[in-house]
A and B are shown apart, each in its own frame.
Chain A
């Protein structure tokens, strides 16, 4: 079926408050702020409608930090951004989880740095385009458009990796954005 693309929606206003970010800190999922000149993360003005990070900061989502992203991000995470030609907010929550699991497999079980060729062998990038509510019409999304999925096609190498069944429930996560330092 031919799919028609329509204009993407504007970003959803952020619902993240300083209190929620401090709670992420308390849960040891967000690095405590150690610098007053360039803190690891910054809060947004109330009802911050559109991402406009100051110089030195990028857009992140609370869900990313629940799933294994830290600040400063690892070299592997930065390499993925450059390889796929995307910005941090383009990763889907499950792409972050898949990446975190892969890094942990390499470091915690295989005893090596995340292995670039192994990553390319196992994973490919797919574009997520949101349904619009009208059949055959879809719209690109501003955040979460890059899914990283295991290669399982007939011409690919199936069943060479561990079982990675990830959740499909990410309701509300696209409004939980804030800024983290880019280094």
Chain B
């Protein structure tokens, strides 16, 4: 007998497996409508490659894998695509998700399949590609893409042990059990393909001792191969990947690491069988065995069901009595979740549909206070302290939760099962994990926002400093220019301010003179008028300096007469145009002032003329 180890804790709930093992696997048939969620696996959701209205065949790819950690989706029967939209899916939230909806045509026509006769001829990348394109993800319940798991980087270390998981430790579920009984050959076949792919030193198929028929079938099928069937004691949750590895090899997978880190690769028997069919027959993953059980059913049994079939389809065939059932659970009683809408589709991780009555799985008792009994710590397969995690979860002490290794919890439910106070421990841990992750995200976001804010502050400050610097530079440049100009003797440039002031003053003076020279007009711009006046004045000065008194007097008289004439004309114009009284008055007063001046100028000229003649 091969040595097996044990893992810490574990519980022994009532098995309740016999109910669904009376009959062999039954074919569920083809439902009218099938729904394919684009995300049936861990990793990026698949991308649709069909359109509404398109006819597809059974096994045809309808959505391709998106990226490395992703899996394609295939149609499980022939028919027409009727919709690509959000539909209800089986998820604890009850929220819809994007799906492709197919209406079956009943003909169930296969697409052309190409199997490989001798896979030994293929190299590993080619085999991995076949597995990847066949849409195979883990069928034990987690749904991790098989091709990614198997394609693990060889630099991570050589894989010593290949583990095939046939334990099925959860109560009620018998899908793997019946598969092992009826199709042991294909399972061993799949295992040998995996052996060729992974090249392990040893291959172990772990199975619990509550499945004697399955053990016998597997032993018979494994005759002549080096696949070792290892029988382990029945305990929940020995089917968890980490726990099974500890049982079979005595080693623990490092926290946050992969089994490959210790040289182990672990796959479910259903996945091994799917790989066998994909490689040898070219069949993509389009169906699985689902146990439909619970006392609210008349005939609990195992079905081979097409993926995408609504749950209702199976429940009807098993004689579901809705009035007797309190809840519908997808998965087993320990890790399954309640499904609100039974039209949700079966996906590749639906290993069981449980329809219990009230007495079978009573509703949870009201939660009482934790009495710190420690039964939860005794049961925990990960050697955690669920009690402390509970107290910290209630108090939202995220640091202490992480110190007590919250993220190593595998959410198996053993602690809640044994709790005498009916505390929903697993819900606390799930919620706390989400809160801790959210807190980390929030911290990253707030750090990022703070950096942006500080950067913006810096930018604004920098801009204002630059402005300041530019202003100073301009001022200095101006001062520099002024100094240089002063040295060169250019007054206007040396002191541009003073020059500007002088200019302004001169303009103002000229404007005033122009205004007194001529009646005010609103049209001539004062600058021009001022300049004109200055020019005139300078010209007048120039001519005046070379003239005799008589000539000056004559010139003066002439000017005055011109002015008078102008003024008279202006006055007449204003009066004719009916201008403002003030203007008219001003013009009249100017005229009145001019007349005596004119008279004086005439007298002066006359006296000068007399002097000249004399």
| A and B associate in one complex | no
